[in-house]
Amino acid sequence: MKVITTKSELRSSLQSSRTDRKRIGFVPTMGYLHEGHISLVKQAKLECDIVVMSIFVNPLQFGPNEDLNRYPRDFERDCELAKKAGVDYLFHPDVSEMYPSQSLTYVRVGQITEKLCGASRPGHFDGVATVVTKLFQIVQPDRAYFGLKDAQQVAVIEQMVLDLDIPVTIVPCEIVRESDGLALSSRNVFLTPEQHQQALILSKSLQMAKDKLASHLFESTDQVSQFVIQQIQTQSLAEIDYVDTLQYPSLESPNSLTDDLLIAVAVRFGSTRLIDNVLVRHNNKEC
Q: Nearest approach, Cβ of 102 to ligand AMP (angstroms)? A: 24
For position 186 contacting ligand AMP by CB under 6 A, the verdict is yes
Ranked by CB distance to ligand AMP, the top (closest) residue is 147
Contact 264, 151 (CB under 8 A): yes
**CA pair distance 169, 44, nearest whole angstrom:** 12
In the chain, what is the straight-line distance between the N-terminal and C-terminal CA atoms, in Å?
A: 34
| Amino acid identity at 268 | R
Q: Is there binding between residue 68 and ligand AMP (CB under 6 A)?
A: no
When binding is defined by CB under 6 A, the residue of 10, 25, 26, 29 that contacts ligand AMP is 29
Q: Is 16 helix (H, G, I), strand (E, B) or coil?
A: helix
Residue 183 engages ligand AMP in binding (rule: CB under 6 A):
yes
Q: Does 170 bind ligand AMP (CB under 6 A)?
A: no
Please report the sign of the dihedral spanned by the C-alpha atoms of residue 97, residue 101, residue 107, residue 113. Answer: positive
By CB under 6 A, is residue 36 in contact with ligand AMP?
yes
- Give the one residue of 175, 206, 224, 280 binding ligand AMP; rule: CB under 6 A: 175
Give yes or no: 282 in active site: no
What is the C-alpha R_g of the chain?
Answer: 19
Q: Is 39 in the site for ligand AMP (CB under 6 A)?
A: yes
Which residue's CB is nearer to ligand AMP, number 29 or number 195? 29
Specify the residue, 69 or 255, whose C-beta has the smaller distance to ligand AMP.
69
Nearest CB to ligand AMP, comparing residues 1 and 257: 1
Q: What is the DSSP annotation of 127-165? A: HHHHHHHHHHHHH--SEEEEEGGGHHHHHHHHHHHHHTT
Is 17 annotated as a binding-site member?
no
Q: Judge whether 181 is annotated as a binding position.
A: no
Output the CA angle 14-16-18, nearest 5 degrees: 70
Q: Is residue 25 a contact residue for ligand AMP (CB under 6 A)?
A: no
Strand partners, 263: 245, 278
185 lies in the site for ligand AMP, by CB under 6 A: yes
Between CA 212 and CA 105 the distance in angstroms is 45
Binding positions for (R)-pantoate are 61, 153
- Residues serving a catalytic function are 37
Binding positions for beta-alanine are 61
The contact set with ligand AMP (CB under 6 A) reads: 29-30, 36-37, 39-40, 146-147, 149-150, 173, 175-176, 183-186
